Amino acid sequence: MTALRVERTSARTPTVWAIGLFASLALLAVVPAALGAVPNVAIGSHGPSVSRDTGAPTAAPAVVPLAADPVLPQVVATVNVGSGPITSVYDSVNGLVYVVNSVSNNVSVLNGTTVVGTVDVAAAPNSTAVVAGEPDAAVVDPENGHVYVVDRVSFEAPGGAVAVIQGTTEIALKSVGRLPVAAAFDGADGSVYVANSASNNVSILSGLTVSANVAVAPHPVAVVFDPMDAEMYVADRQGNAVSVLSGGAVVASLPAGVQPQSLAYDPATGDVYVANNGSASATVLSGLAQVGTAPAGANPGSATYDPVNEAVVVGNANASTVTFLQGVASVATAPTGPGPTGIGVNSANGYVYVPSLTDASVAVLDGTVPLGSVPVGSGPSSATFDPVSLATYVTNSNGHTVSVLETAYPLYFNETGLPAASEWSVALPTSSQSSNGSSIEFGVLPGSYAYAVTGPAHYHVVSTTPPSPVTVGAAPAGVSVVFAPSVAATNYTVTFLESGLPTMCERGTSWSVTLGNTTESTTGDAIVFTVPNGTYNYSIQAPQGYSVASSTPASPVGVAGANVTVQVDFVRCGCSGCPTTSTFSVTFVEQGLRWGTTWCVTLGSTVCSDTQTIRFSGLSNGVYDFTVGNVSGFTANPSSGSVTLHDRDATVPIDFTANRQHHGGGGGGCGGGRGGNGGGGGGGGGWTVGRSPAYLPHDG
């Protein structure tokens, strides 16, 4: 990665240091400020090359085009610790995180997200008597893993104390000067320097022994070690100076700005940066000389070195910003929440974590580019990075929790094939998103994720690469989605239109058609199906006494974007063509009535009327009684009787004779009785129709 830097004079090895937080937090006069514009300058970037103005990739990766911006980390755990957790340190010797609880006077020891021990630092080892309190800062000896915890108050001596912890056990409690607030490790001789803000001196601990107390300028509040020159720098807040110690003695007092508050060491240049809380600046020191002054925001109160982006990051408490410094230049300013403090840096990816003391959130920057803020507990005061688990621990000082954040990685879904501004969506097991653009982005932790993609109406997913589930590692991952138009699901009609069957009065039974797996019946002249495009087999079931002569077009019938009509022609079965299971008809033929006179016949329980011939069809072999209905002024002969069907149709002639004198009621009418007084039925009659030449045979 290339970063904007002043010219380096040499490469140096970074060291471990710690700066007390209590003084910094107590002096914060936080005034919320509107987030200002961020200069379009990036001193570090991660992920694809992008234009920050447009967010558009300048070069697409070979397989899956990825969007430009990284994603916010995620809170993976909220761990209960002691009361008032103010700061924490990572012990590289045992891989544990030590959380300093300023209210409950103890230290919570975390392995990952599990509390593996609680160390009481208010009492001496092997004692239950409370002799110290208000732990405020801590530093780790990277050679043996001892953790030095600064207690601001000692009840045994007129000063403070330092508790020494090994693993999860306190092994020593040593008295130091009054109101100690900060400590740093000297990598040259293995000693620990403790800044005593009220006694204006520095206590030096060699192992478990206080070897010296060295006077410095008034109100020392921060210490940092320069491993190149083996010098310890002490910020003297009321003296507006920085004391430089070497070999346990003060070798220089260098001028700083107003109220120097915190210190940071730049191992790339060997410079020491002094955040001046009262003069909105940072003094830059090199060795025993002042290099110059860099501008900062209002009330800079915390400072730390960013090894990835190679800059010192200063938190401006009353400006709600951080300033990035390289040499005496302010190279960028980025917005944060109110009261930025306790800044931490993820040395794996260069993310900068800025707790907002009054906003219950942590602002996250990628280089100098804000990614957003992550909600945490109340009063977040510090951020500590674990380089092994890659987790960041945020102490929530107003409660009793630590928020554990892990890096999330972009999971992108990029589509092709949809018209511009079409809405589509992607669902993961715990979240879903929609977009009118070509990309949908999730921020996820490493793992395997099942997904489902949904497109707009009339479009379907052709392919997704890689298919579900997609695996996300410690890098951005992407899925290519290809859409294509769907064939419109339009339906059309297939109409079967018949000819050759009797009228509905004469038909008696229905006919039917099976198209595909669907069967429809009717006594009318048409059967209609509604189907989509396709090819369909069909079969036609004729009514009794009829057969299908032809159907056009023949089965199968094709439907291709238009309605289709199938013409069905029925023919009546002849004597030589009808199967033995066919039905037959009885036809009543009248003579003697005036033209247009309506008459009727009841055959069995069926009544039909007409002005001419009356025909009953669909009859099986058997004997059927009939009655001729009364016609005023006429006598039917026969007026009743029976007809026998035996494998052929029958015809019954009915002769009507005009009455010369009309008396009585005549016949019973259609469905009525045999006649009334003076009527008479004209006598009954019987007909038998068989296979031999019979009376009035009818061949149809």
pLDDT digits (tens, 9 = 90+) for 211-230: 999 999 999 999 999 999 99
- Residue 399, both tokens: 């409660």
- In this prediction, residues 30-51 reach a mean pLDDT of 32
Dmax over Cα atoms in the chain, in whole Å?
159
- Residue 422, both tokens: 């079409």
Q: Count Cα neighbours of 565 within 13 Å in the Cβ-side half-sphere.
A: 6
- Residue 74, both tokens: 């995620």
Q: Is the pLDDT of residue 42 over 80?
A: no
pLDDT digits (tens, 9 = 90+) for 624-679: 999 999 998 899 999 999 999 887 888 999 999 988 754 443 344 554 333 333 33
CA angle 40, 44, 50 (to 5 degrees): 60
Find the DSSP H helices in 586-682. Answer: none
- Residue 696, both tokens: 């009035």
Cis peptide before 553 (omega within 30 of 0): yes
Q: Distance between CA atoms of 418 and 421, rounded to whole angstroms?
A: 8
- In this prediction, residues 30-41 reach a mean pLDDT of 32
Q: Partners of 316 in the beta sheet?
A: 300, 321
CA nearest 603: which of 655, 674, 671? 671
Q: Is the pLDDT of residue 507 over 60?
A: no
Please give the pLDDT value at position 121.
86
- Residue 6, both tokens: 């002043």
pLDDT digits (tens, 9 = 90+) for 110-135: 999 999 999 998 766 765 565 667 88
Q: Distance between CA atoms of 397 and 99, rounded to whole angstroms?
A: 11
Q: What is the mean pLDDT of the chain?
A: 82
**Helix/strand/coil for 350:** coil
Phi first, then psi: give them for residue 284, nearest 5 degrees: -105, 125
Cα of first residue to Cα of last residue in the chain, in angstroms, is: 102
Please give the pLDDT value at position 155.
61
Q: How confident is the model at residue 56 (pLDDT cuts 50, 70, 90)?
A: very low
DSSP conformational letter for 620: P
Please give the pLDDT value at position 620.
82
pLDDT digits (tens, 9 = 90+) for 347-371: 988 899 999 988 899 999 998 999 9
Q: Distance between CA atoms of 298 and 307, rounded to whole angstroms?
A: 24
For residue 446, the tally of other CB atoms under 10 A from its CB is 15
**Helix/strand/coil for 402:** strand
Q: Partners of 461 in the beta sheet?
A: 483
